[in-house]
Every structure is written in C-alpha cells, then in structure tokens.
Structure 1
Amino acid sequence: MKSSIKMGIIGLGAFGAKILNPISFFHPKEELEVVAVCDINENVAKDIAGQFEVPHWFQSYQEMLETIDLDVVYIATPPATHEQITRDVIQKGIHVFCEKPLANSISEARNMLELANEAKVIHALHFGQNYLPGLNTFHQMIEEGYAGEIDKIFLKMHYPSWPPEWQQNEWIASRDGGFLLEQGIHFIQAIQRVFGKITHIQSEVHYPSPGQSEDGVIATMILKSGITIVVEGSTDVSFEEDVSLTAYGSEGTVMFDFKGVKAAKVGSELKEVELGEPSPWILTHIINAIKGEPAEIYDFKVGYEAQVVLDILRQGENKLVSLEPYHNI
C-alpha cells in the first residue's frame, strides 16, 4: 500500500465540492491526497481544482479513470448516474465512496452491491450522521432503555420550501429528487440501524405534477419487531423547517434531529441532551479500511436495504407492501 492514498472526486455540486475543506483539515497529504476532480461543467472543475490545489481536473470521469492512478473515488453525482459510474470505477479495481442514496432503483442498488462484493473493493455510503454525536447519543439512549419499551415512532419532515436555499438545483426539485430521497434516506438508515429492519410499508405520496418532487407524504412503516413508524412530511408549510425522528416508550421519549437530541421521562418536558464527542469522520474509517485496519463502514448492503425502503415509500401505492422479497440478498 502506498504511503499516501490517492483520491478522485466525481461531481462538484453541493457535496462534492464541500468535502474538500474537511479533507484538507483532517488529513495531511501524506495520508490522503485529492489528486483529481471531475465535473461536467468545465469551469467548475477548473475553478475547484485551482482553489484547492488539486493537480488534475476533468470534464469526463472516464478520462480521469484512464489517466490518473487512484485508490478511492468519491461519487457525488445524482443517484441516476451512480450505477454506471460505480461499475466503471470498480472495473479499475478502485475503492468506492458513494453519495446516498445508493442508486436510482432497487435493481440498480442490488447490482452495485453485487459488483462491489465480487470485486472485493471497499464500498461505503456517505451516511455521515453515523459519525456525529447526535445519532450516536440517540442510539445509545434507546439501547440503554431510557424510554423503556418503545411502542411507536414518528418521523416528521416539514419544509417551508423545497429545495432548501443551500441546495438549489434542477434534479433535487424534480421527480428524481425530493425530500424523501435527499433527507429521508438518512432517517431510513438511522431507523434500521437503531431499531432493526423495516418489513412492511403503506404510503400515500402527493406529487404536484409528473415532473416535480413530492410535496406531501403520509405513511406507515412496520418494523420486524412489530413497532409502527408513522411518517408525515410536507413542503411549503408556514413555519420553520421541522425534521425529526421521535421514539415514544413506556418510560419516556427520545427525539433526534440534525441539531442534536432531546429527551424526557413520562410527564416531563423535552430537554436538550448533552452530546458526547464525535467519532472519527467517515474518510478516516475509509482510510483505515483500505489499509486493512478496523473501521466503521456503512457499506452498499446498508445502502441497498435503505434503498428498498425508500423506493417502496416513494411509490405511494396506498396499500401494505411487504419488503420480504427484497431481503434475500
């Protein structure tokens, strides 16, 4: 193994460009070096490369893969492109770090998982909340029984507008995007991490037009344990963004959102919970995995399992659908 891991980035939108700052903060070039970036917009690729002193930039990811010696590639393009790019990256024997959701469909996600397993490369999804103290504290409190026996779970997703101001682009506002895909996938993965597999879904999703992302959802998801999760989401609401996952139990309540955790015993008011220290961030774990050292990786199998829930949820068939046929992998 080379002393420095060489990384390429494909897609320089909201996530691909933003990851460069923490990379330079957490990792000296002797450990991890971004040696190439790629974006279909030539000016964006050239500007980002210059700003972060990346030696090579490309418009074509295929040219990048043919030209540059890489150990790992971060795929930060829209989900519809993930399967083909992953296939091309894996064929070069390069490890894959991919944005969530894993793919554009269940079948594509399954293909990607099988490809990665056959090639024996490291494969990881960017489920970054797993390395932050909020979700870890939520998980720990549930596991240690703070809320007692859990009897119901609520996932609330309310947005004044969609997309949010920091993520204005065409695909995220289209039927290929939406809040269930972009942010709901984080909570789907978190639910299955903390509470186990989701086995059944009944959902009703409203799309304002054939080409637009959803503006409302009401759904029921059932865990293998029999616990019910109620999902309620809407856009264009007349109050601040309110996105949270709340578990109600016999002894109390625990709520997780992207800001932190609140909790209360039965009959008490929810209060902020003091959070612990964050885990090493995701690329530290990927580096460790590439080096053959212990690492906490949320891989394509986790991504596939989340994709199954996401796709059935978004279909909005308004009937109870079993996920069992998708679990035999």
Structure 2
Amino acid sequence: MTVLRVGIIGAGGIARDVHIPSYLASGDKVEIVAIADVAVERAQEVADKFAIPHVYDSYQKMLATVKVDAVSICVPNKFHAEATIAALEAGCHVLCEKPPAMTVEEAEQMVKVANDAGKILTYGFHYRYRPEVEIAKSFIDAGEMGDIYSARVHAIRRRGIPGWGVFTNKDLQGGGPLIDIGVHMLDTALYLMGYPEPDVVLGKTHQQIGHKKGVGLFGEWDHENYTVEDMAVGMVTFKNGATLTLEAAFAANVENDDTMQVSLMGNKGGADIFPLKIYQEKYNTLIDSTPAYLPETNGHQLEINQFVACCLEGTTPLSTPGQGLIIQKIVNAIYESAETGKAVQF
C-alpha cells in the first residue's frame, strides 16, 4: 500500500474542519475517495468543496461499493461503535473520534473486532500530541517525577454550552461535558500516569444552568431540549493506589471562560500541563521549571499524520483500543454512580 485510500463517515464540523484538511495536508500519501452521511446534501457540499469523488447516504453503501483502506468516524457518539465495527469488518483501519462509544459493552466489542480483524483502531485524543504533554511525558519517563500517585483534571467552561450539533442531546451523545470535553483531559492524565486500571469510581452530575435561557459564549443553545449535565464531578481510585479527581462543565459560575488543565503529583515532582510548569525539590530548595520555548504544533494534524503512518507502516498508534476501553469504563462509571448515588467497584 503506497497510497492510503480514506473514507469519511460523517460530514459535520469535525470532518469538514479537522479530518479532511489534515488528510489533505498529508500530501500524496493519502487519497480521500469517499464520504458518507445520512444528510447526503451536506455530504455532497463537503465533497464538492474538497473534490471527494464518491458520495453516499450511508456508510454501509460506501463500504460495500468503493475500496477504502481507512476511515475516519465523525458521527455522533451513538453511532461510533456500529460504524467502527462495520468498517473494521470491511477490512479498514479506523480513526474514531472521541469518546470511543456510549457504553462499556460497545467499547469491548470494538476492541474484540479490531483484534479479530487485525486492523488498527485508534481514537481522537489529540491533546496527547501537544508539546506540553510530550515534554511532561519525557520528564516522567526519565523518573524526574517518581511515582505519580495523584492527578487533578479540569475541563470547565463558564458559559460554553455548544449552540450547534447534538452536544446537548443525551440520547445521541451519552452525556454532556464529561463525555465531550472532559474525556480529553481525562485521557491526557491517564496517558501521563501510564493508563492505570480503575478500582473504585464515585461521581455526581449537576444540571443547574443549561435547561434555562441565558448568556452563551458559544451562541444560543436549545435550553428547552437540554438533556445533559452542566457539570460532572468524579473521583477515581486505581488498582495501583493512585487517585484522580475530575471536574468537567459546559456552564459553571467561575472566573475563567475556559479551563483545560491536568495537574499531576508524584513523589519526586509534580506538574501543571497547560501551560507546562514542573515542581520539584532539588539541592535543598523548591524548584519551579517552565519551558523557555515550545514549538507551535497542531495536535489534530499530528494525530492524522500518525494514523496515516501507522496504516501504511503497520505500526501501533499512540492511542490504543485497550486504553479507549479504560476511559469508557471510567466515564460510564461516573454517570452510573451519579444515577445510583453509590460508588462503582470494578
């Protein structure tokens, strides 16, 4: 395989603004041959804009009709699992947008099918490719922070409820800020911690703002049909003894408009990741270290670049199906704990 023939499933904003331009920036390594969306008019508009030759009103037709080596899954969360499994069974490598799925059972099936098919399955956790994360990972791998025993995760917007798409529809998304923006910071923390296995999860969700009309920094949202949480709070203990606390919100009465942050604490050092600052005790004093320079990078582009390279070279991507399963377990356990009022024990 010298050229990767790519199909796009879903013609919404993430496909139009991120996946397709990133594939095209890969040059002659990639050819986007088809796009499918149930809203075929939207798919045709995207195809016309980017000169994609084949347009379909279903991914089933696309997979059955045109030869595709790899696909990007860019549909609402409800359809991640079924589209991914269909593509894998059709012999395609798959880059599925986050989160992996709606349920743990779906994520488990995705792992099984990927393994049975011998195909690559990876997820759109593009924050891993940020230079701050790469540098922090180098510090951790070199033993500079010792054992990471605790983490704090924040993905909090003051009034950042999306006024577009299906982000406030629980039936299609599975939840709100936790499963949308929270998973990015959760994945970043877990990646830097070595993706430990969860042991006990306690969670609580709140819906205090989104169901009422109000000021929206992302435009107006459909408050009358708002069915997801405004905010989710969770605590996770891991089988290796580490702990993690999480707060994710579309709307909260806080100072900053948008906070995406991971903080780590180890027995030899700690760090805040965005922006990167390292905290250590050395030479009988306390040291704070910040990079004097960080390269300008595009996480989405690097993610696509790596996916293309893995497909062409047969290498393992940075985000694996097994890691996707762990994050799905934690997300669903937070929601389950919030509904039952009880901790979830694995």
Query: What range describes the TM-score normalised by the shorter chain of this pair?
Result: 0.7 to 0.9
2:186 to 175, 185, 188: 188
| 2:4 counterpart of 1:5 | yes
CA RMSD of aligned residues (A): 2.6
Verify the 8 A CA contact 2:4 2:312 in the aligned structure 1: no
Q: 1:308 to 1:72 in 2, by over 3 A?
A: same
Match of residue 173 from structure 1: 168
Match of residue 138 from structure 1: 136
Q: 1:288 to 1:233 in 2, by over 3 A?
A: closer
Verify the 8 A CA contact 1:133 1:276 in the aligned structure 2: yes
How many aligned residue pairs are there? 315
TM-score normalised to structure 1 length: 0.85
Structure 1 window deviating more from structure 2 (181-190 vs 227-236): it is 227-236
Structure 2: distance between partners of 1:296 and 1:61: 24
Match of residue 199 from structure 2: 199
Structure 1 window deviating more from structure 2 (95-104 vs 140-149): it is 140-149
Q: How does 1:62-211 map to 2 (within 5 A)?
A: 62-147=60-145, 150-164=148-162, 168-169=164-165, 171-175=166-170, 176-195=174-193, 196-197=195-196, 198-208=198-208
Structure 2: distance between partners of 1:121 and 1:203: 35
| 2:273 counterpart of 1:256 | yes
Verify the 8 A CA contact 2:151 2:264 in the aligned structure 1: yes
1:236 to 252, 260, 263: 252
Structure 1: distance between partners of 2:292 and 2:184: 21
1:274 shift after superposition: 3.6
Letter in structure 2 aligned against 1:244: Q
Letter in structure 2 aligned against 1:243: M
Match of residue 221 from structure 1: 236
Letter in structure 1 aligned against 2:4: I
Letter in structure 2 aligned against 1:63: K
Verify the 8 A CA contact 1:188 1:309 in the aligned structure 2: no
Structure 2: give runs of 5+ residues left out of the alignment.
Answer: 212-224
Match of residue 342 from structure 2: 319
Structure 1 window deviating more from structure 2 (214-223 vs 260-269): it is 260-269
Verify the 8 A CA contact 1:90 1:115 in the aligned structure 2: yes
Match of residue 303 from structure 1: 324
TM-score normalised to structure 2 length: 0.81
Structure 2: distance between partners of 1:91 and 1:232: 37
Verify the 8 A CA contact 1:157 1:243 in the aligned structure 2: yes
